[in-house]
Amino acid sequence: MPRKADAGLEGRILAAAYRLWRKRGESALTMRSVARAAGTTTPTLYERFSNKSDLLSLLRRRARLHLYSAIKPSRTPAEVCRRALDFFIARPNDYRLISEDWAIAFARKEDMPSFEFMKERIAGQLGGKPGRHTPLALALVALLHGTATLLLSADAHAKTSREFRQACISACQALIRAASMANAGSKRPGRPRRQRRLYR
């Protein structure tokens, strides 16, 4: 009689891989160590994942979904920025997974739900289609990632961390405000040109 498939095995594998990665980084993610930590065998692991890269890819995808869940309640692009930065600081391991290959994922046009959500919220405030606001969304992402990297790179004093966080959010708001003003200005009808009188 064939054995029943273990429905929860993939979840256990990912949880084990995440624990190993969190403690000792990518070098700890050998197929043998992940299988042992998940309570399964290496051949069984290979039946589901071809190699370590497949595992990391799934971990990164899961981290992106965690970020999306954190920012989804946001009604404005500024609120998206606040929630995203708080998520990065509260979950540094997920932040590392997201940020390590963000530019590559963007270039490959991989599924990036949080980035698409950011553009949707910008479009909701400024008008137009979300795709039109990619440059502004990229500028906001750069600010958020830069600040998160700065705050997580050292044991910053609590007061300093608050100041950096507030400076980042203020800069995000300023960018959004500037884009809104530029957008409003472009919609105003141009002044009619004065016709020059022609004298003989």
Which tens digits make up the pLDDT trace of 48-78?
Answer: 889 888 888 888 988 999 999 999 999 999 9
Residue 110 has pLDDT above 50, yes or no: yes
Alpha-carbon distance values, 101 to 1, 52, 113, 149 (Å): 44, 15, 15, 14
Q: What is the pLDDT of residue 196?
A: 41
Is residue 134 domain-resident? yes
Q: Is 127 left (phi over 0), alpha (psi -120 to 50) or beta?
A: left
Measure Cα distances from 134 to 60, 84, 110, 117, 156 in Å. Answer: 22, 17, 15, 11, 32
Please check whether residues 41 and 68 belong to one and the same domain.
Answer: no
Residue 49 contacts residue 13 (beta carbons within 8 Å): yes
**Same-domain pairing of 127 and 168:** yes
For the chain, how many structural domains are there in total? 2
d(CA 35, CA 29): 10
Based on the domain organization, do 41 and 88 belong to the same domain? no
Q: Quick one: 90 and 160 in the same domain?
A: yes
Report whether pLDDT(127) > 60. yes
| Dihedral of alpha carbons 189, 192, 193, 194, sign | negative
Q: What is the pLDDT of residue 176?
A: 97
CA distance 29 to 56: 9
Q: Specify the higher pLDDT residue, 199 or 183.
A: 183
Query: Do 70 and 36 have their domain in common?
Result: no
Q: DSSP letter string over 135-165? A: HHHHHHHHHHHHHHHHHHTTT--HHHHHHHH
